[in-house]
Structure 1
Amino acid sequence: MEMTTILKPEAVRVIASASSKKRLFHELGEIANAAYGLDPGVVVAALLDRENLGPTGVGHGVALPHARVPSINEVRGVFVLLEKPVSFDSVDRQPVDIAFALFAPEEAGVEHLKALARVSRTLRNEAICQKLRANDDAATLYTILTEDDNAKAA
């Protein structure tokens, strides 16, 4: 699955500060609303419900919150770089400064898993995370996240 299929440029942001995981989820909901027209309240509730099953902080300052959302017909993503990391109950207990949220249709199966695997593979790459952390321009962040797609197309 291509990153450009999952993520729109408008869904990439730098956030100066989010005081908590819950506040970050609200920010993700607002961005999902602006980029994809998703109801922010529904998005936040879905993220919180999923997080109650277990934390989605995967370590090394990265979180991959994800949820199934009604009224969406394809997997969509929101990427945020936090200027000030937040506590996220991550597996390594480190605060999170990179979050890539995925939203999938309620009936999505394989596509949701493929998207999650693609995002996870990208953000496990230490060089990519270093590039992301070294930039504070949303357009540049989008380019970094979609570089692989562009290289394959060339």
Structure 2
Amino acid sequence: MSKLARYLQVEDILLDVNVSNKQRLFDQVGQHLQETRQLPGDWVTASLWRRELAASTAIGDGVAVPHARLAELDSIHALYLRPQTAMAFAAPDQQPVSDILVLLVPAPADQQHLELLADTARLFSNPRFRQALLRCHDASQVKQLVDHW
């Protein structure tokens, strides 16, 4: 089981999201976390945007891992989003992004956060995992894949 499986919940897996750019994506994440976790959506959005402005969080092969450290959090939150249409994300390979995993972690960063980022990058860098993910058509299938990979 991946480290991600511990933090990714079915209700935080959003497929066919209607977003066309990073700002709308981050707004959607903020809105979702405000509605489901009572986190202030505006600071979630702003934190993700600040991190993205420092350097793109796209890792290539159609994958991005936007992440931010937030002093206000008491636990890690993970969200998986699949936009309706792949979107530009300033990826190193210049490919549009269709798999987005958002990680929000308490500040300051600790070893657990760094291990989660590394594990997530390994997982999403695996072509077999990404192909299996593409075959998932609902949130429960995505969760099951992440849990049992």
Q: Same fold (TM over 0.5)?
A: yes
**In structure 2, what is the Cα distance between the partners aligned to 1:64 and 1:7?**
13
Partner of 1:4: 5
Asked whether the equivalents of residues 31 and 78 of structure 1 are also in contact (C-alpha less than 8 Å), the reply is no
3-state secondary structure, aligned to 1:15: strand
Q: Which runs of 5+ in 1 are unaligned?
A: 149-154
**In structure 1, what is the Cα distance between the partners aligned to 2:141 and 2:65?**
20
**In structure 2, what is the Cα distance between the partners aligned to 1:105 and 1:142?**
23
Asked whether the equivalents of residues 8 and 35 of structure 1 are also in contact (C-alpha less than 8 Å), the reply is no
Aligned residues: 148
Partner of 1:99: 100
Q: Which runs of 5+ in 2 are unaligned?
A: none
Partner of 1:108: 109
Asked whether the equivalents of residues 17 and 81 of structure 2 are also in contact (C-alpha less than 8 Å), the reply is no
**In structure 2, what is the Cα distance between the partners aligned to 1:36 and 1:5?**
17
Asked whether the equivalents of residues 62 and 98 of structure 2 are also in contact (C-alpha less than 8 Å), the reply is yes
3-state secondary structure, aligned to 1:96: coil
Asked whether the equivalents of residues 6 and 115 of structure 1 are also in contact (C-alpha less than 8 Å), the reply is no
Partner of 1:44: 45
1:80 is displaced (CA, Å) by 0.8
Asked whether the equivalents of residues 75 and 115 of structure 1 are also in contact (C-alpha less than 8 Å), the reply is no
3-state secondary structure, aligned to 2:85: strand
**In structure 2, what is the Cα distance between the partners aligned to 1:128 and 1:35?**
28
Partner of 1:135: 136
Asked whether the equivalents of residues 47 and 66 of structure 1 are also in contact (C-alpha less than 8 Å), the reply is yes
3-state secondary structure, aligned to 1:84: coil
Asked whether the equivalents of residues 5 and 143 of structure 2 are also in contact (C-alpha less than 8 Å), the reply is no
Letter of the aligned partner of 2:15 in structure 1?
V
**In structure 2, what is the Cα distance between the partners aligned to 1:20 and 1:127?**
27
**In structure 2, what is the Cα distance between the partners aligned to 1:124 and 1:32?**
26
Asked whether the equivalents of residues 63 and 124 of structure 2 are also in contact (C-alpha less than 8 Å), the reply is yes
* Runs of 4+ off more than 3 Å: none
**In structure 2, what is the Cα distance between the partners aligned to 1:83 and 1:130?**
17
Asked whether the equivalents of residues 26 and 40 of structure 1 are also in contact (C-alpha less than 8 Å), the reply is yes
Higher relative contact order (CA 8 A, sep 6+): 2
1:137 is displaced (CA, Å) by 0.6
1:100 is displaced (CA, Å) by 0.2
Partner of 1:147: 148
**In structure 1, what is the Cα distance between the partners aligned to 2:17 and 2:111?**
34
Give % identity: 28
Letter of the aligned partner of 2:135 in structure 1?
A
1:121 is displaced (CA, Å) by 1.3
TM-score by length of 1: 0.89
- What is the root-mean-square deviation in Å for CA atoms of aligned residues? 1.5
